[in-house]
Amino acid sequence: MPRSRPALAALVLCWAGMAEAAPDGAALYAENCAECHGEARLGGTGPALLPDNLGRLKPAQAAEVIRGGRAQTQMPAFEGVLDEAAIEALVALVYTPPETVPEWGMAEIRASHETTGAVPAEAPIYDADPLNLFVVVETGDHHITILDGDRFEPLRRLPTAFALHGGPKFSPDGRFVYLASRDGWIEKIDMWGLEKLAKVRAGINTRNLALSHDGRFVLVGNYLPNSLTVLDAEDLRPLAVIPVADIRGTGSRVSAVYAAPPRQSFIVALKDVAEIWEIPIGPRAVKVSGLAHSNESGAEEVVDSADPFPIRRILLDEPVDDFFFTPDYRVLLGSARSGDRVVAIHLDVGREIAELPLPGMPHLGSAAAFEWQGRQVMATPHLRDAALSVIDIERFEVVDEIETLGPGFFLRAHPATPYAWVDVFFGPDADAVQVLDTRTLELVRTIRPSPGTTAGHVEFTRDGSHALVSVWADEGAVVVYNAHTLEEVKRIPMRRPVGKYNVHNRLAAAGD
């Protein structure tokens, strides 16, 4: 039965009234923000404004940024331009997922690809050990500093994409470094010439990248879209986009990607489904430009019907992520989603071989291995408990629990020193780092580089003679300690130096 005209008119009036009461976030966005943050909120001069990308930025903080802008950046202050109701509508909008998942396939990735025109240097342009350089990630103003690890002097400071995410990764010879950002930008930098060579946007919201054992391929793991992107490590040209879904077709975010050099493969941790993937990098993994994976539509340039990046699925009972690999890469330890135990998965046979009850949410990705009483062990901090767990990685049993000042994030060890360093990342003692004697499994020293300010992320020099610790503040620092005497040697001012990565030590390690 047709609706009567007066009723329809009332309905229209009512909508018009509502529109006046609550400002239209989408219209305000199009008018004030789209030019920098992109029409679909995917980013532009400014970062992407999607809920996953905003991550730890809370709505109240987002409102503050919109009101006051960000000093020394292009983000303007809208106070006085927009009223509180409008700002509220914009905050609500940026924390609302887009109605349709934005497209980010081969065509978009290829269109974002750029080379800078710089040519890799023929020799290092500095007089320092190229394998003892550090890449310091400064998220305070989105730069990296390349630091001479012999003299602790900055060699160069370079701008990066907004909000780097996951550790930088070096080519197997240490010649190049690859960076990934929260918004999916991948950048390649020459570690001899200290210049940027190329960039590409491999996803909309990205977790991290890994470099294949032979240095030929970059694998990028994305949350949004649910995909893996394979790039040519030489110039970051996209080679393949692999949609991520389990055997039943349920899509999943990628938690992290890892290189497993002895296996000549990549290992992929999946967030939402009970599978782990292994992607062997064999002779069939050829660099065919524009090659797209099976069900990716723009596969116009496929020349070889054989799949160059075949996926081996390891089926599990529940999702696991945050991996630690044994040194031979036969077994990985992963955290079960329930957060109360760790499972050991044998990668050759493709199944679980042990389970360890560890209720404190171990942070396996930044655990470290060492020898203790003739046994191969690793120590892992916990994100929830004030403790370190020491695990025998041959028998897969917990051998000790060590109480710390608070939950921690990063632990680092080096074969040249008996001291492993762990940070306290949460709670009232977040300004402390603690030193573990790996011979006795006793904490022997607590160091507060800058009392009252969070300290974290330790990295050794190539020879293990010094340990570098970050003071995580906008006007922060990297503090250098003598790794034997534990005395402070030097303080280098940095803008929120969230992490620092030594070329030689990272080449020998697995995680981020």
Instruction: Give the residue among 394, 387, 367 at the shortest CA–CA distance from 379.
Output: 367
Least Å from the CB of residue 55 to ligand HEC: 8
Choose, by CB under 6 A, the member of 50, 54, 269, 483 that binds ligand HEC.
54
Laid out side by side, the sheet with 497-502 consists of 153-159, 143-148, 133-138, 497-502
CB nearer to ligand HEC: give 54 or 422: 54
Choose, by CB under 6 A, the member of 11, 15, 22, 35 that binds ligand HEC.
35
Least Å from the CB of residue 115 to ligand HEC: 24
First to last CA, the chain: 64
DSSP code string of 101-150: PPP-SHHHHHHH-EE------SS-SSSS-GGGEEEEEETTTTEEEEEETT
What is the maximum alpha-carbon separation in the chain? 88
Q: Does 373 interact with ligand HEC (rule: CB under 6 A)?
A: no
Q: Does 46 interact with ligand HEC (rule: CB under 6 A)?
A: yes
Q: Which of residues 190-229 bind ligand HEC (CB under 6 A)?
A: none
**Total site size for ligand HEC, rule CB under 6 A:** 24
CB nearer to ligand HEC: give 62 or 473: 62
CB nearer to ligand HEC: give 32 or 116: 32
- Tokens 């160069």 belong to 156
Q: Does 36 interact with ligand HEC (rule: CB under 6 A)?
A: yes
34 phi and psi angles, rounded to 5 deg:
-60, -35
Least Å from the CB of residue 462 to ligand HEC: 32
Instruction: Give the residue among 239, 238, 244 at the shortest CA–CA distance from 257.
Output: 244
CB nearer to ligand HEC: give 162 or 170: 162
Please classify residue 267 by burial: count the beta carbons closer than 10 Å to its beta carbon, then call 0-12 exposed, 13-18 middle and 19+ buried.
buried
Least Å from the CB of residue 139 to ligand HEC: 9
Given a contact cutoff of 8 angstroms between Cβ atoms, the answer to whether 256 and 321 are in contact is yes
CB nearer to ligand HEC: give 42 or 269: 42
Least Å from the CB of residue 69 to ligand HEC: 8
Least Å from the CB of residue 227 to ligand HEC: 22
CB nearer to ligand HEC: give 162 or 481: 162
User: In sequence order, which residues have a C-beta less than 8 Å from that of residue 287 and are 6 or more positions away?
Assistant: 216, 232, 239
DSSP count for the chain of H helices, then E strands: 8, 33
Site string for ligand HEC, 475-494 (x = CB under 6 A): --------------------
Choose, by CB under 6 A, the member of 23, 47, 168, 407 that binds ligand HEC.
47
CB nearer to ligand HEC: give 32 or 264: 32
Q: Does 62 interact with ligand HEC (rule: CB under 6 A)?
A: yes
- Tokens 């990549």 belong to 266
Q: Which stretch binds ligand HEC (CB under 6 A): 27-35, 219-227, 466-474, 494-502?
A: 27-35
Neighbours of 380 (CB within 10 A): 27
Rounded distance, CA 372 to CA 366, Å? 19
Site string for ligand HEC, 67-96 (x = CB under 6 A): ---x--xxxx-x-----------x---x--
CB nearer to ligand HEC: give 72 or 485: 72
Rounded distance, CA 336 to CA 255, Å? 13
Q: How do strand 254-260 and strand 265-270 relate by DSSP bridges?
A: antiparallel
Rounded distance, CA 379 to CA 47, Å? 36
Least Å from the CB of residue 17 to ligand HEC: 25
Q: Which stretch binds ligand HEC (CB under 6 A): 31-39, 126-134, 165-173, 488-496?
A: 31-39
Please classify residue 69 by burial: count the beta carbons closer than 10 Å to its beta carbon, then call 0-12 exposed, 13-18 middle and 19+ buried.
middle
Site string for ligand HEC, 438-467 (x = CB under 6 A): ------------------------------
Q: Does 37 interact with ligand HEC (rule: CB under 6 A)?
A: yes
Choose, by CB under 6 A, the member of 24, 40, 57, 157 that binds ligand HEC.
57
Neighbours of 296 (CB within 10 A): 16
Least Å from the CB of residue 223 to ligand HEC: 15
Least Å from the CB of residue 90 to ligand HEC: 4
Question: Which helix H or strand E contains 312, and what residues bound it?
Answer: strand 312-315
Q: Does 144 interact with ligand HEC (rule: CB under 6 A)?
A: no
- Tokens 């998220």 belong to 139
CB nearer to ligand HEC: give 47 or 166: 47
Give Cα separations from 178 to 191, 206, 238, 266 (angstroms): 10, 14, 14, 16
CB nearer to ligand HEC: give 23 or 168: 23
Residue numbers at the binding site for ligand HEC (CB under 6 A): 32-33, 35-37, 45-47, 49, 54, 57, 62, 65-66, 70, 73-76, 78, 90, 94, 142, 162
